[in-house]
Structure formats: C-alpha cells, structure tokens
Amino acid sequence: MKKRVLILISAIAVLLLNGCGSGTDYYDDEIRFHLVDQDGYGVADIRYTCDGETVYRTDGSGGFYFYPNDDCSLELDITVDSTEDDLFIENDAAVGVADIPYECTSGLFGRTDRDGHFEFDNVDGSDICTFQL
C-alpha cells in the first residue's frame, strides 16, 4: 500500500512540475528587440512602455518586448549620455533594424538607419523616444 501511495505522489509531482512555465514573461506573438550601445553591449534598466501599458525595464541584453504595430517609448535617462553614447535597435540576431520611425521629446525624429542607429538628446534631462514598431 505504501509503495502505491509513493508512486501516486511521484506521478502527481511530475505532472505538476511539467505544468510549470519556462520563466519567460512573453507570449508567442511578442517580438523582442534590443537597445545596444556603440560597442554592441545591451543597455539594461531603461524604462519603456508599449502602447501606454505597464512600464517595464530593458533586460540585461537591452531586450524589450512588444507586439506588432505597437508604439514603444524608451526613457533615455542618465543610464546613457547622448554626448558620448550612440544607441541602436537590434533584433535577436544582433542585426540592426532599419527604417523604424521615431520621435523624441527633445524634438529629434526620423527613422533608424540601416544599422538601427537613432539620434537622441538627454543633455538637459531624460529624452523619451517613441518608436512605431
């Protein structure tokens, strides 16, 4: 009897553990881009929001998640310096994403170039750049 109870408990534990997620907080239709600097390093802890939803922070690779056709705003604060840093938007394959329209509260606007580069100006305070993804 004890053996059957032990087997039953083991089977239930296996089923419960199989139901656990992989730890990712995004869905299959979400896309991930990365905010990287001129040296190719991800810029972490940048606040962002997509379509006015919850405020998140970029992960260790500079990753930020969005759905197709979202407008995502990145708050470029003292973490980066527009007089020293160049920033780029890259995909998961570390390739720059070109032609993304953007507009910043500093008045700068345009489209990302072929390397994913965009202009921002946070000399007088945080610059919030909104990308039409």
For 32-44, what is each residue's pLDDT tens digit?
A: 999 999 999 999 9
Q: In degrees rounded to 5, what are phi and psi of residue 77?
A: -100, -155
Mean pLDDT value across residues 73-81: 94
Position 27 scores a pLDDT of: 59
Type of residue at 87: L
* Per-residue pLDDT reduced to its tens digit, 85-115: 999 999 999 999 999 999 999 999 999 999 9
Residues 6+ apart with CB under 8 A from 27: none
Query: What integer best gives the mean pLDDT of the chain?
Result: 86
Residue 96 tokens, joined: 């720059």
- Report percent pLDDT > 70 for the chain: 79
Q: Do 44 and 15 form a contact (C-beta atoms < 8 A)?
A: no
| 115, 61 contact by CB (below 8 A) | no
d(CA 99, CA 50): 18
Whats the size of the chain, residue-wise?
Answer: 133
User: For residue 112, what are its two tokens?
Assistant: 């990302």
Answer yes or no: is pLDDT of 3 > 60. no
Q: Is the pLDDT of residue 69 over 90?
A: yes
Residue 52 is predicted with a pLDDT of 84
* Phi, psi dihedral angles at 6 (to 5 degrees): -65, -45
Q: What is the dihedral of CA 108, 114, 116, 121, to 10 degrees?
A: -20
pLDDT band at 10 (very low <50, low <70, confident <90, very high): low
Provide the pLDDT for residue 132: 97
